[in-house]
A and B are shown apart, each in its own frame.
Chain A
Amino acid sequence: MRGTPGLRRVVVTGTGVISALGSNTAEFWQALSTGESGIRELTGINPDQFRFRHAAEVKGFDAEALFDSKELAFLDRFAQFALVAADEAVKQAGVEWTAGLSERSAVVTGSSFGGRGAEEAGYWELFHNNRTRVHPLTIPQSMSNAGASHISMRYGMQGPAYTVSTACASSAHAVGQAFWMVRSGMAPLAIAGGSEAPLYLGGLKAWEAMRVVSKDTCRPFSADRSGLILGEGGAMLILEPLDDALARGAVPLAEIVGFGMSSDAGHITQPSPDGAARAMRAAMDDAGMQPEQFGYINAHGTATEANDRSETAAIRSAFGEHANALAVSSTKSMHGHTLGAAGAVEAVACVETLRNGILPPTANFTAPDAACNLDIVPNQARSQQVEACLSNSFAFGGLNAVLAFKRWL
């Protein structure tokens, strides 16, 4: 697709992240580039009631200091994360909202659970306290598009705005679709990303019942990996045409060059290496690039038995011999699995990887697994400048989304 007449080159000019690794991109990258994990014992909810005790929680988040009380009444935690991340990204990009820009700019967000935490609070009152009604704002708080709507309202963005919900690939699909809209000229700018706040009782119990949450920590690709660690947070990227960005004096942070998606059409929870490999190939084709041009993959790398084995096979299938020369790390070992926000959080990790010439490690690694025999950058970040990278997101339900980024020189 790249180089097709009429298609615009698209760059990332701003990023925002709130996660267990801090409240902005700088803190996020500081932790990733030094291999520091944000996984700790749960504090927001009593861990004694679960079969696991750890999560990657956002620490010291003071919503009342960030939002006025009237605004806060409409915002579940997941929408708060969306707005905080968008705010940082818009400021970094230095977006000037002219009438023409506002009218056509796009907002695409991803979230798997949306504001179910707010819903749960209302249902708790119904089921336990014999209340007969819930808060009148339960619907606007809990709807999964609340993040997109609030971003659109805050900046007066009146173009395409919607939310994608594809479980753990939600915000990768969101960023990819926004990229295509900007590339085609449909939107002159997009805010794209995702957010998730899944650390509420019912959500944690549902994950516990899946028996995929580690009682220890997140050890992707490690022989003794024992499951994922849930995380919360949000990330947003500003995407705009390269020539427009340069014309207004913005600094491109990286170029977004490809997006590929596929469906396993297989099993509802067991991943297929074939589906994942097809999404990676589609992203590289979309970028008009060869496997040999990529030096790094930010893996889906959940640290479940099934994902890491399947993802390794998929990477070997998509990259052939070049898989041996690729660095592949899972930053989920540090920021946890932020579910619907993961694709966007990891897209920001890719942008920073390309900008800084440092590969973030796979933290908590203890022992190699023959079924995951890739260069997974164990435990220590590595000084290495790669020219292009992929970000993998593979959702339950077999829905795969892969983004391709290129270094901006």
Chain B
Amino acid sequence: MSDETIQERALRVIAVKQRLPLESVTPESTFESLGIDSLDRLNILFDLEGEFDIEINDEEAKKVETMQQMVDGIQKLVDAKQQKAAEAQ
């Protein structure tokens, strides 16, 4: 688990929660190509926020179309969280 990259974790969470074959969710996949509608997107944001303990901004989330964009966004939020934690120490 701990060896998983952010990308692997994010794609795994999306695949598992959306009941999609793991290999079908790739960085190039779009929400559209995966057949993910607006309510599924809400669920994905909820699941990813829980997985990474982050808060994803509504407006930023609306711009996301591909899994790669989602992973990049999560990476940014995780980095910011870690930096904040480091500063606090």
Contact = CB atoms under 8 A, between A and B. Distances in A.
Interface of A: 51, 209-211, 215, 226-227, 267-270, 306
B58 A209 contact: no
Contacts of B37: 267, 270
A85 B52 CA distance: 47
A123 B49 CA distance: 26
Interface in B27-80: 37-39, 42, 45-46, 55, 58-59, 61
Contact of A268 (B39, B45, B46, B61): B39
Contact of B46 (A209, A215, A227, A270): A209
B58 A269 contact: no
Instruction: Identify whether the interface residues of B are mostly helix, strand, loop, or mixed.
Output: helix
B82 to A, nearest CB: 22
Candidate in B38, B55, B58 with the most chain A CB atoms within 10 angstroms: B58
Contacts of B39: 267-270
Contacts of B38: 269-270, 306
B31 to A, nearest CB: 14
Interface residues of B, number: 10
A51 B49 CA distance: 14
Contacts of B59: 226
A51 B42 contact: no
B73 to A, nearest CB: 15
A210 B42 contact: yes
Contacts of A267: 37, 39
Given A211-B42, A267-B39, A270-B38, 4 more contacts: A210-B42, A211-B45, A215-B58, A226-B59
A167 to B, nearest CB: 15
Nearest to B61: A211
A270 B39 CA distance: 9
A268 B37 CA distance: 11
Contacts of A210: 42
A264 B48 CA distance: 31
A47 B45 CA distance: 22
A187 to B, nearest CB: 40
B46 A51 contact: no
Nearest to B57: A51
10 contacts: A51-B55, A210-B42, A211-B61, A215-B58, A267-B39, A268-B39, A269-B39, A270-B37, A270-B38, A306-B38
Nearest to B55: A51
Nearest to A214: B58
Nearest to A210: B42
A223 to B, nearest CB: 14
A107 to B, nearest CB: 35
Nearest to A52: B58
B54 to A, nearest CB: 13
Nearest to A227: B58
A267 B40 CA distance: 12
A50 to B, nearest CB: 12
A269 B41 CA distance: 13
Interface in B4-48: 37-39, 42, 45-46
A51 B57 CA distance: 9
A269 B38 CA distance: 9
Contacts of A226: 59
A269 B42 CA distance: 12
A309 B74 CA distance: 30
A226 B58 CA distance: 10
B44 to A, nearest CB: 12
A26 B39 CA distance: 40
Contacts of A306: 38
Nearest to B38: A270
A106 to B, nearest CB: 37
B13 to A, nearest CB: 17
Contacts of B55: 51
Contacts of A211: 42, 45, 58, 61
Contacts of A209: 42, 46
A226 B37 CA distance: 19
Nearest to B43: A209
A16 B72 CA distance: 53
B11 to A, nearest CB: 22
Contacts of A270: 37-39
Contacts of A269: 38-39
A306 B61 CA distance: 16
Contacts of A215: 58
B37 to A, nearest CB: 8
Pairs A-B, 6 closest by C-beta atoms: A211-B58, A269-B39, A211-B42, A270-B38, A209-B46, A210-B42
